[in-house]
Amino acid sequence: MRVNVLGEKIVYDGYISVIEASLQECCKSSNSTTYKRQKVLMPNSVCGLIYNTDTECVVLVKQFRYPIKSKINDGFIYEVVAGTMKENEDPRETFIRESFEEVGYVLDRKNVELYSCCYIAPGYSTEKMYYFIATATNKNKKKGAGGGLASENENIEICEIHYLQFKSMMDTLEDAKTKFLAYEAHFKKIFDKK
């Protein structure tokens, strides 16, 4: 089977762009099917769990996310540090920059390890995310104000949670990237490296 792109057009262009394509599915038989699909053009992104080995705390952010707000959800969620990559920016450098902007930590590059890279939602989005785990100490802490950028309306609350409490939260975390990194850190025994 083969799928050909017959044409593409922009159907929405804002903070994100949505492209609609006309596709043709070609089979070994002479029959072919034509249909439409959409994709959301998103920049690649990074996320990472920061573990302060001096305080034995995981550094998270708590922020408002409009898409999850509902009658039963206030829209606030715990997340690891995350952000979008600038064009041609190295993923590790993006994570280091985002860590400073969101939680005020200046991370040492050598203590930032890439664990995975994968598409977030390949059924509709072009975004690929890079997943990091970083260790830090108090000397890396609060070199900046943190809290996110006012220009991006982030309004981030910095949360430092002892790793034992964090481990007890892992099953109830609602953010996929945070849950993935929590289990990865636990599996790699990051919290046991004292």
pLDDT at position 153, please? Answer: 60
Q: What does the block give as tokens for 154?
A: 């982030």
Q: Which residue has the tokens 């920049």?
A: 43
Instruction: Tell whether 83 and 155 lie within a shared domain.
Output: yes
Instruction: Tell whether 99 and 146 lie within a shared domain.
Output: yes
What angle is formed at CA 142 by the lines to CA 138 and CA 145, rounded to 5 degrees?
A: 175
Q: What does the block give as tokens for 81?
A: 């540090």
Instruction: Tell whether 75 and 36 lie within a shared domain.
Output: no
**Is the overall model pTM greater than 0.85, yes or no?**
yes
Residue 85 in this model has a pLDDT that exceeds 60: yes
Instruction: Tell whether 151 and 78 lie within a shared domain.
Output: yes
Instruction: Tell whether 85 and 134 lie within a shared domain.
Output: yes
Instruction: Tell whether 26 and 75 lie within a shared domain.
Output: no
Strands 45-52 and 128-136: parallel
For 7-20, what is the mean pLDDT? 94
For 109-118, what is the mean pLDDT? 96
- d(CA 194, CA 54) in angstroms, rounded, equals 9
Residue 32 in this model has a pLDDT that exceeds 90: no
CATH at 73: 3.90.79.10
pLDDT at position 192, please? Answer: 80
Neighbours of 61 (CB within 10 A): 23
What digits encode the pLDDT tens for the residues 126-185?
999 999 999 999 998 876 566 665 556 667 899 999 999 999 999 999 999 999 999 999
For 32-43, what is the mean pLDDT? 92
Instruction: Tell whether 76 and 21 lie within a shared domain.
Output: no
Instruction: Tell whether 108 and 150 lie within a shared domain.
Output: yes
Instruction: Tell whether 172 and 111 lie within a shared domain.
Output: yes
Q: Please list the residues that pair with 20 across neighbouring strands.
A: 9, 38
- d(CA 182, CA 178) in angstroms, rounded, equals 6
Q: How many domains does the chain have?
A: 2
Instruction: Tell whether 77 and 145 lie within a shared domain.
Output: yes
CA distances from 162 to 8, 20, 31, 144 (A): 49, 46, 60, 21
For 100-124, what is the mean pLDDT? 95
16 touches 120 (CB < 8 A)? no
Instruction: Tell whether 8 and 53 lie within a shared domain.
Output: no
The whole domain housing 87 covers 45-192
**Mean pLDDT for all residues in the chain:** 91
Among 118, 43, 127, 47, residue whose Cα is nearest residue 86: 43
Close Cβ partners of 12 (under 8 Å, ≥ 6 residues apart): 18
